[in-house]
Structure 1
């Protein structure tokens, strides 16, 4: 870890060293030619160039002081040696660094100030229209340095923004995948709870009947055993269908949704009647074929509500009412309950997963569910479910 950090810290120094070397190397031929043109010792010009490039060794750490240092060196050469050729190159590199590391407005202000100083010294030291090209070269060079640095800075910001968006999109996809997995687990958990709780409750009630009648009425006891067999077979079929949801990826033909719907409501109520629960069904309004998710939700809500009644209130009277209105199915399940308060499980009587599951089913279908004790005893559950696939709100 320390080795990696050390190498990362050495990179700016390497970049600064390479930049200073390139600046001196590329400007040296021009310095030698200029010295020859002015019949002056080339060592003076190369020495001045080296002095101007020396601050570039720390330009990454102190970009603003480096601009001032290189500008001072270039101004000194222009004033003392009349060296307008390559000497401003060091200032150009320093301005490029400032433009890369600061905001656009700051970079252009510093660049404009440095350019104005260089032009002023050049005009004072070598006035005349013959040197116009030198003035324009200084102006173009400084402007190009700042513009290049600004372009690099903007490109880096765009790249960083693109990388950030890609990372955010990846995190969002992962979160969405986790959310869908959680929803799928909850959906399967609801199916398993409804299937197991319902059928085990019926098997338990029918086994009690068979045990009670085994000696006094063997024929009725035998019928109760037959119902246990049928209930167990139905439970296995529904469990097989539910487990098929887990294997959808392996078997594309596996059903995505369990089969039960309102068409099987009569058979469901008959199974409860055989277990000793006096349950009646009432349909009002204009019966319409609901969406599959609504039919499944209504079936499971009735199943779970009557299972709770049979489990917590015993063999009491229960009523199921389906009221078909315009676009909405009003489903009501209520029972007479016991004197103590009906089918709602008390403390320690249940986990509450059944009520949670019914509320989640109603919400998934786009409806609502309310439940609570009846004033005269017993328990009442009411759900409003849309008959079509569109969801409320």
Structure 2
């Protein structure tokens, strides 16, 4: 449905014609109105002609606003000089011209033309007789002329505000694309650094192990077998790290914001402190003997905890969450629990990328992840990660010590 403003913009000529006819009819009525106890001024036809000229001056006046204001102001002064009461019906053409001027020009031009016009019209309405009614004769025309000036200025400011909002939106759209390209560049740099720091190191070790095994193959077969076993573990580790690093290419998001080395559970206190600063209290419990984890598993554990606590920050009803780390001989079980505020907590079957990303991270290192979706008050994320790359966790996750 087309609004009145849009219709006026599409058909300006027709709109101006309707306005002119309406103002002309009102001006004719205003010229023939007589107050109680007053006599009708002579030469009514002159007043009708003058007000008709004022109305016709508005036809197409949007391109000649200053000329329209001058013509309608002169017509209003002439009408008042003939003895007619300057009512809103007679001042309507001048009021429309002042409104258009205020809506389309700057404040200095608006109030310069408006101020001079108001003084002339009020002076004509007051006349030379300074009787007891002089204030009343001055107040009415002044009020009716200042009103369109104020309304037109408000319309101009509103349009300027809307244009500024639209400009900011367009600028944000352009900068969003630039930021996306910058993030891609930063992510490539981070991946290159990860490959250099992790994969290149393991490859150098594997090369040294292979060279040593070849050298000792005939002289010390037992030691050679041990070195080859270690070489197998080294190559498994480097394959895991390579898969985890290259997998980042498929997942863009907040993880690509930093060029610092990949985080791990050693940075967990800093993460909990960030959550506390965001208003979420995290109760940490550790079971078993903590130990150093392979870099890929360490990064995966950190990212899963980070995403789960992010969800808890958004949806926890009591602003508290429980984080439990359980170390066994073969795996690390991570449990993050929080009570939910509403049904907005993401569920396993939801289309949110956070849970999908956590599950894919866990699967990438041979682990598994389960998210509670029973509809109970508590929301729980449980993941089990292997402590060694060659010992994957079965897909049917039943972590010990978890409900």
With the length of structure 1 as denominator, give the TM-score of the two structures.
Answer: 0.52
Q: Distance in 2 between matches of 1:18 and 1:140?
A: 25
Aligned-pair RMSD on alpha carbons?
A: 4.4
Match of 1:312 in 2: none
What is the CA-CA distance between 1:99 and the residue it aligns to?
1.6
1:65 is matched with which residue: 64, 67, 73? 67
Q: Distance in 2 between matches of 1:8 and 1:215?
A: 97
What is the CA-CA distance between 1:8 and the residue it aligns to?
10
Moved more, 196-205 or 176-185: 176-185
Q: Distance in 2 between matches of 1:63 and 1:104?
A: 14
What aligned pairs does 1:47-86 form with structure 2 within 5 A after superposition?
A: 47-80=49-82, 82=84, 84-85=86-87, 86=89
What is the CA-CA distance between 1:108 and the residue it aligns to?
1.8
User: Contact (CA 8 Å) 1:195, 1:238: kept in 2 or not?
Assistant: yes
Deviation track 1:209-250 (CA, whole Å, cap 9, x = no partner) reads: 444454565555444433322211221233354456567799
Match of 1:236 in 2: 239
What is the CA-CA distance between 1:75 and the residue it aligns to?
2.5
User: Contact (CA 8 Å) 1:12, 1:60: kept in 2 or not?
Assistant: no
1:89 aligned to 2:92?
yes
What is the CA-CA distance between 1:175 and the residue it aligns to?
5.2
Match of 1:100 in 2: 103
Q: Distance in 2 between matches of 1:258 and 1:123?
A: 82
Q: Which is greater in Rg?
A: 1
Task: Sort the Cα spacing of 1:221 and 1:169 in 2 relative to 1 into closer, same or farther, 3 A.
Answer: same
What secondary structure is seen at the aligned counterpart in 1 of 2:63?
coil
What secondary structure is seen at the aligned counterpart in 2 of 1:60?
helix
Aligned length, in residue pairs: 256
Q: Distance in 1 between matches of 2:55 and 2:128?
A: 22
Match of 2:398 in 1: none
User: Contact (CA 8 Å) 1:67, 1:94: kept in 2 or not?
Assistant: yes
What aligned pairs does 1:312-327 form with structure 2 within 5 A after superposition?
A: none
Match of 2:114 in 1: 111
Deviation track 1:61-88 (CA, whole Å, cap 9, x = no partner) reads: 1111111111222233333474634333
1:198 aligned to 2:201?
yes
Unmatched 5+ stretches in structure 1: 1-6, 262-292, 298-393
1:151 is matched with which residue: 154, 157, 172? 154
User: Contact (CA 8 Å) 2:23, 2:55: kept in 1 or not?
Assistant: yes
Match of 2:23 in 1: 23
Q: Distance in 2 between matches of 1:239 and 1:198?
A: 12
Q: Distance in 2 between matches of 1:126 and 1:58?
A: 38
With the length of structure 2 as denominator, give the TM-score of the two structures.
Answer: 0.50
Match of 1:267 in 2: none
Task: Sort the Cα spacing of 1:114 and 1:260 in 2 relative to 1 into closer, same or farther, 3 A.
Answer: closer
Deviation track 1:112-145 (CA, whole Å, cap 9, x = no partner) reads: 2112222333444887555764433222111112
What aligned pairs does 1:120-159 form with structure 2 within 5 A after superposition?
A: 120-124=123-127, 129=132, 133-159=136-162
Q: Distance in 1 between matches of 2:240 and 2:158?
A: 62
1:161 aligned to 2:170?
no
Moved more, 163-172 or 191-200: 163-172
User: Contact (CA 8 Å) 2:61, 2:68: kept in 1 or not?
Assistant: yes
User: Contact (CA 8 Å) 2:16, 2:59: kept in 1 or not?
Assistant: yes
What secondary structure is seen at the aligned counterpart in 1 of 2:33?
helix
Unmatched 5+ stretches in structure 2: 1-6, 256-260, 267-294, 300-403
User: Contact (CA 8 Å) 1:74, 1:87: kept in 2 or not?
Assistant: yes
Task: Sort the Cα spacing of 1:113 and 1:258 in 2 relative to 1 into closer, same or farther, 3 A.
Answer: closer
Q: Distance in 1 between matches of 2:180 and 2:31?
A: 65
Task: Sort the Cα spacing of 1:159 and 1:244 in 2 relative to 1 into closer, same or farther, 3 A.
Answer: same
Q: Distance in 1 between matches of 2:141 and 2:167?
A: 39
Task: Sort the Cα spacing of 1:260 and 1:191 in 2 relative to 1 into closer, same or farther, 3 A.
Answer: farther
Q: Distance in 1 between matches of 2:200 and 2:222?
A: 28
What is the CA-CA distance between 1:167 and the residue it aligns to?
4.7
User: Contact (CA 8 Å) 2:32, 2:40: kept in 1 or not?
Assistant: no
User: Contact (CA 8 Å) 2:194, 2:245: kept in 1 or not?
Assistant: yes
Q: Distance in 2 between matches of 1:21 and 1:247?
A: 66
Q: Distance in 2 between matches of 1:189 and 1:26?
A: 78
Moved more, 142-151 or 30-39: 30-39
